[in-house]
Chains A and B, each alone.
Chain A
Amino acid sequence: MNLLNISGSPHVHSDESTKKIMWRVNAALVPALLVAIAYFGINALLVSIISVASCVLFQWLIEKYILKTPTTVGDGSAVVTGLLLAFNVPATVDMMWIVVIGALFAIGVAKMSFGGLGKNPFNPAIAGRIFLLISFPVQMTTWPQVGGLFPMNFDLATGATPLGAFKEGALPTDVTFMDAFLGHIGGSMGEVSALAILLGAAYLCWKKIITWHIPVTFIGTAFVFSGILWLIDPTAYMDPVMTILTGGIMLGACFMATDMVTSPMAKSGQLIFGFGCGLLTIVIRNWGAYPEGVSFAILIMNSVTPLLNRWCKPKRFAN
């Protein structure tokens, strides 16, 4: 007979694991990926594959040759980073090499230099995106326009996103709410379709990987705040429905602000976090230099997370 195992209680485990969580997040990203491929065609597919492959490769290389620790690429977290990074860039030919640099920054600097999964203060995909946005401003804001379904050519027509156009002057009149909801607009490849993102978010909620707190407060705050501005001056500010449907608010609120590692743990902290993200996004969009502020907003709130973890304690049973 085997030796008896001895440990303190409990002697069972829920079978939940980091690996399962990460692969479920990947599964939740699939609808948005499919929409991206449908609208941006082979470019989107290639950029995603390159991004994921380079994230995984960099993590493997760093763990094997620099940290000399057992590899953890199997847990799927590098794949999540790769997909989210790809979702945050436009699906153009240029991106196929630029995204590799983004992946190196995201994995090498934003994640592994802090000690790997669980220890990074900032969401690696967001850090990677911002690094690219600052380093390659032109390529990062050359948005392919959505043509038909499944375009197989590499050179898609480019143009401004609704947000960019609005910043320049006025919202293109031909963009309807439905277009924005389904994703028939220009933009980064993963952010265009609110529907696909909400599908993924619903799956994550069902699997109890995310809770409603951050997405709802994030989107809600953005909606209310932009609504107030819009009521004050409908010509100078975008209307609130369009505000939350365009740009990265949906993607950010559902997938990037909810990143377990970089968001607060207590529910009350999550509410503040979501509120801060929504507020900062609208502030940056309306009064900042960039047309889009989601990633900056999340990054700033990431840096506040340790404080929120300190201040916001769960309700004690016995107080």
Chain B
Amino acid sequence: MTQQILIAVLVLGALGIFFAVVLYIVAQKFKVVEDPLIDEVAEVLPGANCGGCGKAGCRAFAEACVSQGNMEGLRCAPGGDAVMAKIGQLLGCAVEQGEPQVAVVRCNPANCGDKRKSNYDGLRSCAFQNTVYTGESGCPFGCLGCGDCVAACQFDAIHMGENGVPVVDADKCTACGACAKACPRRVIELRNKGKKDRRVYVSCVNKEKGAVAMKSCANACIGCGKCAKVCPMEAITVEGNLSYIDYKKCIACRKCVTECPTKAIKDVGFPTPAVKPAPKPAEAPAAEKVEVPVAEKVEVKN
């Protein structure tokens, strides 16, 4: 009995020592020498591997930082200034402060939904639908509504809205840009969050002539240029029947919002005006001074 136990112990012990030696030799032989700094930088990063920086993942971003030695052209959007500052400390270099950004869906949901002109019955993929035809709304530029952006988001920050157009949750959005890349029609853009989270943007990307664009969407930008004329900062340019607000110049005065004849320009984050939440059409002229389209106010989060 004792002998059996002894044999078992010896055999197992010998095996253990043998494998330990093998493992040691292998570990020594195939040792990968790596800058410990990479580990430290990777530790600081959010670790979501969103790819927003253009690298394959957080580790690749850390490697790029360390091998480059400075932070030029490298930015971790989800981490924001806090993470960037930490990396700067580790690397001992200066870090540019970036304005916090957020993803903005530049398509107006008001027209879609029940006003569909066809019924898309194929693969639920925007990238594919885009190769088949214009999409259900008939607008060859607008959102297709299959949710490629929703699938691309690592932060659960973008969801399909009721009208089949995605809605961004600004609190969760890290501006990694994955949704903008996933959108085959480039409807989504990264814009500065703005002071107090107040933003004004043209919620349309249709470059068709006004009359044509209006056929597929009542809220299309028709490129009339009224907004550009009224803008005190010259932040608005109209190009190819489509106006664009430069978020770096915009001071969110909202003059363009009231001027826009098709309500294609949206303002987000402004306090709801003091008028009743749903004024009757008859009362509307009375509220002229503070005329802000009430329907647009619903989506404060966008």
Contacts and interface: CB of A to CB of B under 8 A. Distances in A.
Do A and B touch, yes or no (CB under 8 Å, in the complex)? Answer: yes
A6 B116 contact: no
A312 B10 CA distance: 45
B122 A4 contact: no
A4 B132 contact: no
Contacts of A4: 118-119
Contacts, number: 27
5 contacts: A5-B118, A5-B120, A5-B121, A6-B122, A8-B123
Contact of B128 (A2, A3, A8): A8
B23 to A, nearest CB: 28
A8 B129 CA distance: 8
Given A7-B120, A8-B123, 17 more contacts: A2-B119, A3-B117, A3-B118, A4-B118, A4-B119, A5-B119, A5-B120, A5-B121, A6-B118, A6-B120, A6-B121, A6-B122, A6-B132, A7-B121, A7-B123, A7-B132, A8-B132
A3 B119 CA distance: 6
Interface residues of A, number: 7
Q: Is the contact region of chain A dominated by helix, strand, or loop, or is it mixed?
A: loop
Contacts of A6: 118-122, 132-133
Interface in B127-145: 128, 132-133
Interface of A: 2-8
B117 A8 contact: no
A3 B121 CA distance: 11
Contacts of B132: 6-8
Contacts of B116: 3
A273 B77 CA distance: 51
Contacts of B118: 3-6
A4 B117 CA distance: 8
**Across the A-B interface, the 3 shortest Cβ-Cβ residue pairs:** A7-B122, A7-B121, A3-B119
A288 to B, nearest CB: 27
B195 to A, nearest CB: 43
Nearest to A2: B119
A2 B118 CA distance: 9
A2 B133 CA distance: 18
Contacts of B117: 3
Nearest to B122: A7
Interface in B89-136: 116-123, 128, 132-133
Contacts of A5: 118-121
A2 B116 CA distance: 11
Nearest to B119: A3
A3 B113 CA distance: 13
A271 to B, nearest CB: 34
Contacts of B122: 6-8
